[in-house]
Amino acid sequence: MLRLLARRLMSNVPESTVYGGPKPQSPGRRVTLTHLRQKHRRGEPITVVTAYDYPSAAHVDSSGVDVLLVGDSAAMVIHGHDTTLPISLDDMLAHCRAVARGASRPLLVGDLPFGSYESSASEAVNSAVRMLKEGGMDAIKLEGGAPSRISAAKAIVEAGIAVMGHVGLTPQAISVLGGFRPQGKTVASAVKVVETALALQEAGCFSIVLECVPAPVAAAATAALQIPTIGIGAGPFCSGQGYNEEENVLELKIICERDPSTRCS
């Protein structure tokens, strides 16, 4: 009796630690492509948030958001770089594993980082495989719409891995874009957004992220596609929205700082 009591009074006995992660998932619990398809058919917006570690994954899990993206934005918001370019596939896989331990319900999508998939379709397939095999992800995202990317997306889908496309502002391409510049602001650019989205759909993508394009362009792409679009800085006419959790939290901090009367703690 006393010993049981003593054990309960002791902090951090491993047997009662929760860091063992969420309970083993039952097959019905994880959000799948089927669920997303159903939501899209019913016209229900799809929610996506990024996370990069165990606690943020646990928070996203509890919130009921549909899709958790382990974004290469980690390079900026976790590692403090100016761009998404420096992060390696191994770095990303460490983030993915931590997230997979924390979130049992949302669909897990891992971002292929700059330099891990551009040189050939087979490099792309290998990286995507690692994301699932070593990273515990359910699907991957890759950026861009050049012919080689479309081929890469197709090869990855053929390998049995679900692919989320990404057009508009593609941060890995800031070298050619000349900065984090919104896209689709001219006729030619806007048409290109829609065309590449369609080509990625043709290659087998299950959804497309539209980043930083004007709302009418996002609306057009969303109408032209059968698969859902996930917008970020692309207005309200997408099939769903994506958001960077770290920015969200930072934004809260700024709001708290501006208004001293707000009790934030």
Partner 1 sequence: MLRLLARRLMSNVPESTVYGGPKPQSPGRRVTLTHLRQKHRRGEPITVVTAYDYPSAAHVDSSGVDVLLVGDSAAMVIHGHDTTLPISLDDMLAHCRAVARGASRPLLVGDLPFGSYESSASEAVNSAVRMLKEGGMDAIKLEGGAPSRISAAKAIVEAGIAVMGHVGLTPQAISVLGGFRPQGKTVASAVKVVETALALQEAGCFSIVLECVPAPVAAAATAALQIPTIGIGAGPFCSGQVLVYHDLLGMFQHPHHAKVTPKFCKQYAHVGDVISKALSQYKEEVENRSFPSAVYTPYKISEADVDGFSNELQKMGLNEAASAAAAAAAGKNEETAG
Residues identified as active-site? 211
Query: Which parts of 111-170 interact with partner 1 (CB under 8 A)?
Result: none
Binding span for partner 1 by CB under 8 A among 111-119, 157-165, 199-207, 235-243: 235-243
Binding residue (CB under 8 A) for partner 1 from 25, 64, 120, 133:
64
d(CA 265, CA 262): 9
Q: Is 37 in the site for partner 1 (CB under 8 A)?
A: no
Binding span for partner 1 by CB under 8 A among 78-86, 129-137, 140-148, 158-166: 78-86
d(CA 109, CA 142): 10
64 by Cβ neighbours in 10 Å (0-12 / 13-18 / 19+) ranks as: exposed
Please state the closest distance from residue 235 (CB atom) to partner 1, in A.
Answer: 4
Binding span for partner 1 by CB under 8 A among 28-36, 137-145, 148-156, 187-195: 187-195
Instruction: Report the amino acid identity of residue 211.
Output: E
Binding residue (CB under 8 A) for partner 1 from 1, 2, 4, 10:
10
Binding residue (CB under 8 A) for partner 1 from 25, 119, 191, 202:
191
Q: Is 5 in the site for partner 1 (CB under 8 A)?
A: no
DSSP per residue over 12-58, as a string? --GGG-STT-SPPPPTTTS--HHHHHHHHHTTPPEEEEE--SHHHHH
DSSP annotation of 172 reads G
